[in-house]
A and B are shown apart, each in its own frame.
Chain A
Amino acid sequence: MHQIFQRVIALAIKELLALLRDSASRAVLIGPPIIQLLVFGYAATFELKHVPFVVYNQDQGQMSREFIARFSGSPTFDLLRVVHDQKSLQSAIDDKSALMAMDIGPNFSADLEAGRSAHIQLILDGRDSNTAGLAIGYAQSIVTTFNQTQIAANGARAPAAVLLNRAWFNPNLDSRWFIIPGICGILTLLVSLLTTGLSVAREREMGTFDQLLVTPMRPSEILLGKALPGFLVGTVEGSLILIVSVFWFHIPFTGSLLALYFGLFCFLLSTVGIGLMISSLAATQQQGLLGVFLFMVPAIVLSGFSTPIANMPLAVQYITLIDPLRYFLIILRGCFLEGGSAALFWPQYWPLVLIGMISMIIAGRLFRSQLA
């Protein structure tokens, strides 16, 4: 027993040394994840700012100018220019210089003063449907405020129902709070897969795998010795990313650290298992790398990182059940924003452990059959 332990530790230390002594693999392991976190943290945001728009104002009155000022004064919209005919309005959208065009009819001020509803036409660039949709939302809220001020100023009757929004967990609906915990999950996935997914293939290429197999080590010991570095590197990197998220991006961490680390452990169990599965299938490092990316991309898309799983077709929703990142994202977001504790995450923990166990067993089997 002692000898087995000693052998497994020796292999794990060897793996770590091989990773950390080689300046190239060291750089790949440490640099890119942190850089990616910083870049994605700033770049990936659902918030819309500085949307360029043009105005064709046919109205001469005070009201329309006030209306436009509400848009140009908001951080969401930037007034690109005022155009003077329908044609330039069209071309501004066509050549993508503006994302939105506002057409105010000649009777805007007159209608309002007369107590009638005034009409404004908003034209949006539908080629970028996502942004257009968001822009409409922002425009709507500006119009609503405008209406309320008008109603108050004119002493007219208040509208029947007024919606009061309050977002829990993320009061300002800062999308960074939503995205960065997700990136933590993705980067941890990437690092642990890369550490384990190439390790057997690398040895096959170098010819050292045969050398390992003629030692008294059993395949299960080799598997374990190769899994440990994945855990270690995954935990260290995960913690590093966590620190950057909390102290650099100021994402509030409201939950239990214990719950998160237990989640990380379960998550690494599944990713290391999958990594070793890929590794024992791949004959070369190139194949291993390909396998890692073939798994990574769908794992991210189906995880609910950017699009809600509830919106996916039912069949696809079932597929997401085998995606470890899906569960870990719930744990991460829960721990960051909801202040969740371990008890809350049992529905996430056990699938991760199950995926981990099954993939480890399959990896072990593949490992043995590859020897034959």
Chain B
Amino acid sequence: MDAVLVRNLSKSFGKGAGRRDALKNISLRLPVGSMTAIIGPDGAGKTTLLRLLAGILTPIADEIRVLDHALPQEALALQSQIGYMPQRFGLYEDLTVEENLDLFASLHGISHAMREHRFNELLTMTALGPFRQRQAGQLSGGMKQKLGLACTLIHPPQLLLLDEASVGVDPISRRELWNIIHQQVISQNVTVLLSTAYMDEAERCDHVILLHEGEILAQGSPEQLAAPLQGHAFMLGDIPTATRNLQSRIAQMPGVVDTVIQGDGLRIVMQEAQPPRLQDGLASYGQPRAVPARLEDAFVSLLFSRSVRHVVPLPPHRDNAHDGSTIVEVIDLCRNFGAFTAVKDVSFTVRKGEIFGLLGANGAGKSTTFRMLCGLLPSSSGKLLVAGLDLRKATAAARARIGYVSQKFALYGALSVQQNLSFFATAYGLSKQHRQERMKWAFEELELQEYATMNASTLPLGYKQRLALACALMHEPDILFLDEPTSGVDPLARREFWARVNALAEGGTTCLVTTHFMEEAEYCDHLVLMSLGEILAQGTPSEIKAKARRDDRPNPSMEEAFISLIEEHEQPTRRAS
């Protein structure tokens, strides 16, 4: 029996010249009790497909049957049997956790007698029990997503549609979310269809659909998709220093599809099943050994041939830009919000030209620390120097030395790309000529030319991120703050983004970054791991991983290290919940 059956489904938006095909001739079938992931670049049509299957949009199709309901005629009957969690789940932020659950229970017509039992079940599952009376707006990002999922599950659905449920969620909450979803599949035989930007999530599903510009490029089990690439993946181990430089050089070699820094090594994916030929200075790194291919390799190489990829060359390494001098210094930094201590005795230093990563669970105090560093929030106590100054008290000129890319890609949506750039350039006091030079740079380097007159609000997500980066770089700051700059961005755009950050760091710009993608933490020179407002561990990625080394886990990945270190630290608190 199929939970979902779709034949030749198409959907377009807009009319006339503005008409855009979101989906073209899609056919798929999902057996009952299966778990399927939709992956693909931004704007591939993932959300549209989910919305169509939820019966919210009107489709054009030969046949579209969901849980034996023909759409769009029987959409209303269908909607009482499915759970749909959109990207931004509509929690009522002024209501408490319990009031939110109550509201959604009432909307689904669940009797009061049944409610208490179901609430307890869901609150235990999501570990939100102790926060029953807390307002939803006061929850951390991870908790909000869990509450959203709980509200979706309040009426046990037969089909669960999840649209990027784990965006902006830390690895621990992400694991909890996945446990809940798994439990539903196993115990209730629920069919799950989800879209995700995380390849490891897709790898855990039975079936993966790769969408690209409204078409299915490939579908099958993760193993099936990765199969054609077996023999294409290689690992270059034990690179002592200058990994970024090496990565950039190898990425530009012919035949190389993908390079990713992993631990002390470099993972390379080739177009042909042949190891890369390392010549000249590269030969000394030894011969790369073959490793098994994975889903992400398939994703990257399938899209490799279809989209023009921009190679970001590294600027020449400037030694004077990496003289090891301290550029950011934080000593015993504290911040209280009423009785709650968000940041507690935090101390670290950032050296010039390094990529500095701030990791931690949602609500660990990363963003608060960031906001204090940028001068957006005063500290309660402690010392804080950015380029030798406290930005909170510093003159306007000092603030011109930093750039800031916020979580939400803060852009003026009603303004065009060009107007956004021009505004930020002028706000930073650039002269007319200098402004034009930088705009030209942004158009060329970040490939924004063809979008110059488009409103920022209508840009694809990946381009929004580029524009946000461009706006923050108009004045060529010495220090760049990046607050979760890759949330919800697909793997390809993420790679490009990191290539740019690498290039910036190599050119001497100090980059401070927060992220929930643990593989991105590998790009950092120095990491600080925060938990409950305190620093738990700091050092290079290898040093952090070494701290999580156990007998049964001799070579932990960054994600494993993150989870185990944080869980150890938070255990007393988590147990209380």
From A13, which residue of chain B is reached at the shortest CB distance? B423
User: Interface residue count for A (Cβ, 8 Å)?
Assistant: 28
In the complex with contacts A7-B426, A21-B455, A206-B413, A214-B374 CB distance below 8 A: yes
Of the residues B375, B414, B416, B429, contact of A214 by C-beta under 8 Å: B375
Contact B415 A217 (CB under 8 A): no
Mark contacts of A1-20 with chain B using CB atoms, 8 A cut-off: 1 yes-contact digit, 0 otherwise: 00100110111011001100
Number of A-B contacts (CB under 8 A): 83
Contact A216 B414 (CB under 8 A): no
Contact A215 B412 (CB under 8 A): no
Contact B412 A18 (CB under 8 A): yes
Residues from chain B with Cβ under 8 Å of A21 in the complex? 414-416, 455
User: Interface residue count for B (Cβ, 8 Å)?
Assistant: 33
Contact B423 A210 (CB under 8 A): no
**B198 located at the interface, meaning its Cβ lies under 8 Å from any Cβ of chain A in the complex:** no
Residues from chain B with Cβ under 8 Å of A3 in the complex? 429
**B399 located at the interface, meaning its Cβ lies under 8 Å from any Cβ of chain A in the complex:** yes
Contact B407 A207 (CB under 8 A): yes
In the complex with contacts A7-B427, A214-B376, A208-B412 CB distance below 8 A: yes
Q: Give the Cβ gap from A11 to chain B, nearest Cβ, in Å.
A: 7
Mark contacts of B385-428 with chain A using CB atoms, 8 A cut-off: 1 yes-contact digit, 0 otherwise: 00000000000110110111011111111111001001110111
In the complex with contacts A215-B424, A216-B400, A17-B410 CB distance below 8 A: no
Contact B408 A217 (CB under 8 A): no
Contact A207 B399 (CB under 8 A): no
Residues from chain A with Cβ under 8 Å of B422 in the complex? 10
Contact A211 B429 (CB under 8 A): no
| A17–B422 alpha-carbon span in the complex (Å) | 12
Contact B423 A10 (CB under 8 A): yes
In the complex with contacts A7-B427, A217-B427, A18-B399 CB distance below 8 A: no
Q: Give the Cβ gap from A8 to chain B, nearest Cβ, in Å.
A: 10
| A9–B422 alpha-carbon span in the complex (Å) | 12
| A291–B407 alpha-carbon span in the complex (Å) | 29
| A372–B379 alpha-carbon span in the complex (Å) | 9
In the complex with contacts A214-B376, A371-B376, A206-B415 CB distance below 8 A: no
Of the residues B400, B410, B426, contact of A207 by C-beta under 8 Å: B410
Contact B396 A217 (CB under 8 A): yes
Contact B410 A215 (CB under 8 A): no
Contact A216 B427 (CB under 8 A): yes
**A212 located at the interface, meaning its Cβ lies under 8 Å from any Cβ of chain B in the complex:** yes
Contact B399 A14 (CB under 8 A): no
Contact A18 B415 (CB under 8 A): yes
Of the residues A11, A13, A216, contact of B428 by C-beta under 8 Å: A216
Contact B411 A17 (CB under 8 A): no
**A128 located at the interface, meaning its Cβ lies under 8 Å from any Cβ of chain B in the complex:** no
From A371, which residue of chain B is reached at the shortest CB distance? B376
From A214, which residue of chain B is reached at the shortest CB distance? B404
Contact A17 B396 (CB under 8 A): no
**B507 located at the interface, meaning its Cβ lies under 8 Å from any Cβ of chain A in the complex:** no
| A11–B422 alpha-carbon span in the complex (Å) | 11
Contact B427 A215 (CB under 8 A): yes
| A3–B371 alpha-carbon span in the complex (Å) | 26
| A213–B378 alpha-carbon span in the complex (Å) | 13
Q: Give the Cβ gap from B513 to chain A, nearest Cβ, in Å.
A: 16
Residues from chain B with Cβ under 8 Å of A210 in the complex? 371, 374, 376, 404, 406, 410
Contact A216 B399 (CB under 8 A): yes
Q: Give the Cβ gap from B13 to chain A, nearest Cβ, in Å.
A: 18
Q: Give the Cβ gap from B466 to chain A, nearest Cβ, in Å.
A: 16
**A95 located at the interface, meaning its Cβ lies under 8 Å from any Cβ of chain B in the complex:** no
Contact B428 A17 (CB under 8 A): no
Q: Give the Cβ gap from B311 to chain A, nearest Cβ, in Å.
A: 29
Contact A208 B410 (CB under 8 A): yes
From A11, which residue of chain B is reached at the shortest CB distance? B427
**A218 located at the interface, meaning its Cβ lies under 8 Å from any Cβ of chain B in the complex:** yes
Residues from chain B with Cβ under 8 Å of A371 in the complex? 376
| A21–B424 alpha-carbon span in the complex (Å) | 18
From A7, which residue of chain B is reached at the shortest CB distance? B427
Mark contacts of A354-369 with chain B using CB atoms, 8 A cut-off: 1 yes-contact digit, 0 otherwise: 0000000000000000
Q: Measuring CB to CB, which residues of chain A are less than 8 angstroms from any residue of chain B?
A: 3, 6-7, 9-11, 13-14, 17-18, 21-22, 25, 206-218, 371-372
- Could you list 29 A-B pairs, sorted by A, with CB under 8 Å? A6-B429, A7-B427, A14-B412, A14-B415, A17-B419, A18-B414, A21-B455, A207-B406, A208-B410, A208-B411, A210-B404, A210-B406, A211-B406, A211-B471, A212-B427, A213-B375, A213-B376, A214-B374, A214-B402, A215-B399, A215-B400, A215-B424, A215-B427, A216-B397, A216-B399, A216-B400, A216-B427, A218-B396, A371-B376
